[in-house]
Structure 1
Amino acid sequence: MISYLKKWMPDFIKDVLRPIKQITYDAWQYNQLLRNIPKKHTQLIKALQGKQTLRVAFLVSEKSKWKVDEVFRLMQQDTLFSPFIIVTPFHKWDLNNQMARVADITHFFQSKGYEAYSHFSDSQSVIDELEKADLIFFSEPYDVARNKTYYSDLFSKKLCFYIPYFFMATTHLKGSSLKFNGIYYPFLLSMWKIYWPHNEIMSELKKFDKRAIKSSVVTGYPSVEYIYKEALKPIRASSVWKDNAQGKIKIIYAPHHTILNNMIGLEKISTFIENSEAIKELAIKYQKSIAWSFKPHPNLLANLYVHPAWGKEKADAYYQFWLEQEYTQFDDGAYDDLFLQSDAIIHDCSSFIVEYAFTQKPCLYLIGDTDINNFLNDFGKGVIGVYQKAHSPEQIEDFVKSLINNDKKTAQNTQFFNQYLEQYYQYQLPSERIIHDLKQSLGYRNDI
């Protein structure tokens, strides 16, 4: 009966009922689950001890949120682990888009030589492999597939671990009695291990729920290891940029997705509505000197479709501009080499505040009506000093002209950021710490 009602219920009614269900039935159900989680983890660890090989499933719904490549590769090189990827759909897209995106992501991983399964074309294999998996890695803390098979059903059955898909430098994902920086507490407290990118997050956790401290380990962020290692080397010939970008200054424009006024629990940090046309005009104006990469947040397009001042036609035309010009390109996947082969970035995307700072290149942060101090945590405030800031199109153009005039080739690291690099990257890399902790926590010998 319930399944029948859900099938025919209009989406707007589901949107109204969903948060009510989350704070009533879901909260009760998860509290029941959480009472048993510590005991279950102990049982699962005991059952794994002595196994020669551990199957590790990595759940992925978007290429741009794949932040653990270094961890995956280390597991491939370690005889204890047998890692594989399950590509899941993202509920915000229609079925055709879901199928196309899942196929594209699956091909992306398979082309890297990774064992990968598609939700659509390998459905039975997905079920079988999840059942056999010993460890489950989540690439994001949300039920993005709207499918318990890839979310809550795993919490009570498997040892699950999580590495945030962003650097946790902001608080724009507002906390509440049910959330910690956007992470639902049932997810947070159900994880066997959470590997955090910096120590400041621990003091925030203590204020939220001390139970999460038990599963928390600060390791640094494996996503930026490649950038960290390559940043000080000479820029290579631009393989990820168009041939027409050769000899030009290469700038990334990376806007955030928080453009809607009704995004409950989200700080509106995006300046896309205010600055998008101005930056497009700068691309046209300086096309002889500058090549541009448009690297929007994956959720921006869907939000533009429903924005009252935009809509599908206008949004598609804007994206098409960046796809079609000789001096522009559109990038929606992995971005390590894009960052390394660029000369500068202009953005308001919270995930990139720290990540791009690792390149030590000029970076401009776009500030709108929201006070930047309202959504940066202490770690973010310590890193943002690397950035120049812009409040207007005129200041954005000043930054662009400074690049053309060769006024600034590198960013100036803050003392805070240098200390962070020394603590978490100089002597041992985050991925090595994560593998070491996993093996130690499971009672296996460490070789690294």
Structure 2
Amino acid sequence: MLLRRYVRKISQKRPVKVVFFATNVSMWRYQWVYEHMKNDSRFTVDIVLSPSIQYARAQQEDDLRQMREFFAKQGVDFVDWKLEQGEDAVDIRKTIDPDILFYAQQYDGILTPKHEYRNFLDRLLCLVPYGIGPSFTYWFYDTPFHNLAWRLYYPSPIEMEDARLLAFNKARNARMSGYSIYDDYRAPLTEDPWKPLDGGRKRIIWAPHFTLPTSVAHYHRANFLWMADVMVQLARKYEDRFQFAFKPHPKLLTELYKNRDWGKEKTDAYYKLWQTMPNTQLETGAFAPLFKTSDALIHDSNSFSVEYMFVNKPALYITQDMETLRDSVPKLGKHAFDAHYVAADEKEIENFLLDVVAGGNDPLEPVRRNFYDQFLKPPHNEGVGEYIYHDICNSLFS
């Protein structure tokens, strides 16, 4: 009842004030919704920089730096947070007084309290998930945010089905928009993100998850510690055949800073190594251009297991226990794993590089193509950002 009252009230306003929270470049998912709204005089739009307060201070500051560079390069205005200068986050309820707010994550405690969704329960909350649902669990479909939000935009029919089963409100506020990153993949490339090298080397992305082995239950995804030296050795061994992009999960830096065997000094040196080896680079920003121009992915990220299927390139999933991992993911994840090669040790990683990537022996190519056709093609005859924009306009103004 209250939500309907808010919708009626906001629909009569001109302009409607919209805020998009940006936590880091990798999780920015609203570019195309933003573009449509920016060009509609019925809306005013603001991008608010708000790095995750769960990350180490150094990482928050680096995320802010990257976001400033990213948006400035596009000529896009934003509401800054000068954290490095000791400033508090902008109280947007006072400065902007938004009507609609877009979030990329549904969890409590991610953003500074001034930007938390609980401060805006009398406004219209929207969720465009930064990743595809990694598990069939209540925390992904039935948090307070899910049930209080005005709109949830899910990527696939499988996620809509899971949401209807798990959410207290039966996902009545959800729409199937398609995956938001689709628009980035279909946009023309403006530049090649890879370090220019001669010799026609194959381009390999290594994208480790942030999970570290703190318990047996997580062992099937806690691979970074044993892979750290292995991947450096492979990069050096095949310097003339492959170039590597180290694309860590945004939270990995914070987790390594806290790890007693790593800490800040060792972690910073390791990240610096990937920046400086002749055939490697560190990538912490947008991933769609990197994916589009790569030849293969090595990773242990449930979201990337789906997202990389947009480019139909070979993908290798690292796990010590695929059976346990499969049991922990929803149907979409299981289908994605079926389109992956799997490795549990250095030899199997090396075989993937030499046989599948360099040798071209890729029997899973038709499986990946079928996965894209079945699960990733948007369900509407328009881009995902365009669909979300039209859905909001129709809900408010029709």
Cα distance in 1 for residues equivalent to 2:278 and 2:89: 44
Return the offset for 1:119.
2.4
Q: 2:102: which partner in 1?
A: 137
Return the TM-score normalized by structure 2.
0.88
Alignment of structure 1 residues 152-301 onto 2, 5 Å: 152-168=117-133, 170-171=134-135, 175=137, 179-181=138-140, 185-228=143-186, 239-244=192-197, 247-261=200-214, 269-301=221-253
Return the offset for 1:208.
2.3
Aligned length: 392
Return the offset for 1:54.
1.7
Q: 1:4: which partner in 2?
A: none
The change in CA–CA distance for 1:326 and 1:268 in structure 2 (over 3 A counts) is same
Cα distance in 2 for residues equivalent to 1:74 and 1:267: 43
Is the partner of 1:217 in helix, strand or coil?
Answer: strand
Cα distance in 1 for residues equivalent to 2:115 and 2:215: 27
Q: 1:151: which partner in 2?
A: 116
Return the offset for 1:147.
3.0
Letter in 1 for 2:183: E
Cα distance in 1 for residues equivalent to 2:58 and 2:19: 25
- CA deviations on 1:413-447 (whole Å, 9 max, x unpaired) are 2534422245526x332222211211111134xxx
Native 8 Å contact 2:89 2:112 kept in 1: no
Return the offset for 1:114.
1.9
Return the offset for 1:268.
5.5
Cα distance in 2 for residues equivalent to 1:245 and 1:200: 43
Is the partner of 1:210 in helix, strand or coil?
Answer: coil
Is the partner of 1:102 in helix, strand or coil?
Answer: helix
- CA deviations on 1:258-306 (whole Å, 9 max, x unpaired) are 1142699x78523212322222211110001111100000111211223
Is the partner of 2:132 in helix, strand or coil?
Answer: coil
1:437 and 2:395 equivalent? no
Q: 2:314: which partner in 1?
A: 362
Cα distance in 1 for residues equivalent to 2:359 and 2:187: 28
Cα distance in 1 for residues equivalent to 2:172 and 2:331: 22
Native 8 Å contact 2:55 2:251 kept in 1: no
Native 8 Å contact 2:203 2:295 kept in 1: yes
Native 8 Å contact 1:363 1:411 kept in 2: no
Q: 1:428: which partner in 2?
A: 382
Is the partner of 1:164 in helix, strand or coil?
Answer: coil
Return the offset for 1:184.
6.5
Q: Give 5+ residue unaligned stretches, structure 2.
A: none
Cα distance in 2 for residues equivalent to 1:242 and 1:107: 19
Percent sequence identity over aligned pairs: 26
Letter in 2 for 1:98: Q
Q: 2:77: which partner in 1?
A: 115
Q: 2:344: which partner in 1?
A: 391
Return the offset for 1:390.
1.3
Native 8 Å contact 2:219 2:320 kept in 1: no
1:352 and 2:304 equivalent? yes
Return the TM-score normalized by structure 1.
0.79
Is the partner of 2:20 in helix, strand or coil?
Answer: strand
Cα distance in 1 for residues equivalent to 2:75 and 2:363: 36
Native 8 Å contact 1:270 1:349 kept in 2: no
Pair member with larger Rg: 1
1:411 and 2:360 equivalent? no
1:330 and 2:282 equivalent? yes
1:63 and 2:10 equivalent? no
The change in CA–CA distance for 1:296 and 1:409 in structure 2 (over 3 A counts) is farther
Cα distance in 2 for residues equivalent to 1:131 and 1:212: 32
Native 8 Å contact 2:378 2:384 kept in 1: no
Q: 2:38: which partner in 1?
A: 76
Return the offset for 1:144.
4.7
- CA deviations on 1:101-145 (whole Å, 9 max, x unpaired) are 324323422331222011237868653666421110012223455
The change in CA–CA distance for 1:157 and 1:96 in structure 2 (over 3 A counts) is same
- CA deviations on 1:7-34 (whole Å, 9 max, x unpaired) are xxxxxxxxxxxxxxxxxxxxxxxxxxxx
Cα distance in 1 for residues equivalent to 2:201 and 2:375: 33
Q: 1:342: which partner in 2?
A: 294
Cα distance in 2 for residues equivalent to 1:112 and 1:216: 31
Cα distance in 1 for residues equivalent to 2:79 and 2:216: 33
Cα distance in 2 for residues equivalent to 1:242 and 1:273: 26
Cα distance in 2 for residues equivalent to 1:133 and 1:153: 14
Cα distance in 2 for residues equivalent to 1:422 and 1:125: 38
Native 8 Å contact 1:65 1:139 kept in 2: yes
- CA deviations on 1:327-373 (whole Å, 9 max, x unpaired) are 00000011111111111111111221111111011111112236231
Cα distance in 1 for residues equivalent to 2:219 and 2:32: 31
Q: 2:4: which partner in 1?
A: 42
- CA deviations on 1:236-258 (whole Å, 9 max, x unpaired) are 79721112266211100000111
Moved more, 363-372 or 401-410: 401-410
Native 8 Å contact 1:258 1:268 kept in 2: no
